[in-house]
A = this chain, B = another copy of it.
Amino acid sequence: MFDNKKDADAYDKMLELAEGFAALLQQHIPSVDEAQAEEFGIFLSKNKEAVMQACKGRVEALSEIDSDATPSNVSPLAAQA
């Protein structure tokens, strides 16, 4: 799945952080199911740079995430004429 150990380790670390966020979310909002919590955790983890910026005071970093985070199999609605 990964070409080298470095990428594999980075992926593991990303998942570890994602699980941390997911666990907190489920503790706070038990009605959120596990898959949803995991998905949101992965989203925050993949965007941890923006999360850190926001925590440091640049809150708008969070609202800037979504355009960047569009999954690669989803085409932007560029030509919606």
A73 within 8 A of B: no
Contact A16 B55 (CB under 8 A): no
Q: Residues of A within 8 Å of B, CB-based: how many?
A: 32
Whether B48 lies near A13 (C-beta < 8 A) is no
Are the C-beta atoms of A59 and B16 separated by less than 8 Å?
yes
Interface residues of A (CB under 8 A from B): 13, 16-17, 20-21, 23-25, 27-29, 31-32, 36, 39-40, 43-44, 48-49, 51-52, 54-57, 59-60, 62-63, 65-66
Residue contacts A-B, CB under 8 angstroms, 8 given:
A13-B57, A17-B62, A24-B43, A28-B36, A29-B32, A31-B32, A32-B32, A52-B55
